[in-house]
Amino acid sequence: MIQDISAIMFDERQIHTRIKELGEQISKDYCGKTPVLLCILKGASMFMADLMRSITIPVEIDFMAISSYGDSRKSSGVVQIKKDVDVNLDGRHVIIVEDIVDTGLSLKYLKDYISKHNPNSLATCVLLDKPSGHKIEVSVEYIGFQVANEFVVGYGLDYAQKYRNLPFIGILKEEVYS
Ligand code: 5GP
């Protein structure tokens, strides 16, 4: 796998340092509450596992699985729900935990969908944000890192279901997908 990576963008130490900071911020902001961390599978699985361990207040967790139509590198914004939420979100403080925001279309869909469950509050925590890719305005309360418009894999993020188990975030060589 490593031979398909052109450069390491964030190594394990950088990722864990930043996630610790995010966890501390969330613990402070939600002090006295028990938020529901809603992990969006599969890309956010590794992020979720580390983020929840860095939060020091009680949390509940749940998972949603979605898939987006279109080619495997660009989301179309048309999302299919493969696994729905189990926890009753009515009146709860919900934090969506996502891997990456590019166009923002998937996140917009998710936020609209979760809003219909009448949460008390709804926030979003994403590991990576690509500001230059945004096609719509979508608010994100917690961002791990802002990145340039490169296709990245590792730490849960895939290309054609591969590379998720890399412990770092790296740029995929163009020759792999072109
Ligand atoms: P959006 O709807 O914001 O354009 O795209 C979000 C989804 O597209 C992410 O959840 C992810 O599945 C995929 N995506 C966008 N950029 C990247 C990237 O650089 N690497 C990988 N592996 N997936 C990406």
Here the CATH number for the domain that contains residue 62 is: 3.40.50.2020
Residue 167 within a domain: no
Identify the domain containing residue 125 by its residue range: 12-149
Number of domains in the chain: 1
Write the CB contacts of 22 (distance below 8 Å, at least 6 apart in sequence). 51, 54, 125, 142, 144
Measured in Å, residue 99 CA sits from the centre of ligand 1 at 8
Catalytic residues: 102
| Stated pTM of the model | 0.95
Closest-CA residue to 131 (of 140, 122, 119, 120): 140
| Angstrom distance (rounded) from CA 157 to CA 6 | 16
CA atoms of 19 and 15, how far apart (whole Å): 6
Question: Does 3 reside within a domain?
Answer: no
* pLDDT given for residue 69 in this prediction: 61
Residue 69 near residue 95, CB atoms below 8 Å: no
Q: Which residues are within 8 A (CB) of 161 and not within 5 positions of it... i.e. 6 or more apart?
A: none
Q: What is the pLDDT of residue 56?
A: 98
Report yes or no on 112 lying in a domain.
Answer: yes
Q: 170 CB less than 6 Å from ligand 1?
A: no
- Residue 41: inside a domain: yes
- Diameter of the chain measured on Cα atoms: 50
Which atom of ligand 1 is the closest one to the Cα of 104? 3
pLDDT value, residue 88: 98
Q: Which pLDDT score, from 0 to 100, does residue 23 have?
A: 98
Let me know if residue 110 belongs to a domain: yes
Residue 75: per-residue pLDDT: 67
Ligand 1 contacts CB of residue 62 (under 6 A) = no
Ligand 1 atom closest to Cα of 133? 4
**C-alpha separations of 177 from 39, 71, 73, 167, 172 in Å:** 27, 11, 9, 21, 8
Q: Is residue 155 part of a domain?
A: no
Q: Is 139 within the bounds of a domain?
A: yes
Q: Is the CB of 158 under 6 A from ligand 1?
A: yes
Atom of ligand 1 nearest to the CA of 151: 19
pLDDT in tens, the chain (178 residues): 899 999 999 999 999 999 999 999 999 999 999 999 999 999 999 999 999 999 999 999 999 999 876 556 666 667 899 999 999 999 999 999 999 999 999 999 999 999 999 999 999 999 999 999 999 999 999 999 999 999 999 999 999 999 999 999 999 999 998 8
The partner residues of 81 in beta bridges, in order of sequence, read 66
* Per-residue model confidence (pLDDT) at position 28: 98
* Domain assignment present for 166: no
Per DSSP (E only), the strands in the chain are: 5-10, 36-41, 60-68, 79-83, 93-101, 121-129, 142-146, 152-153, 169-172
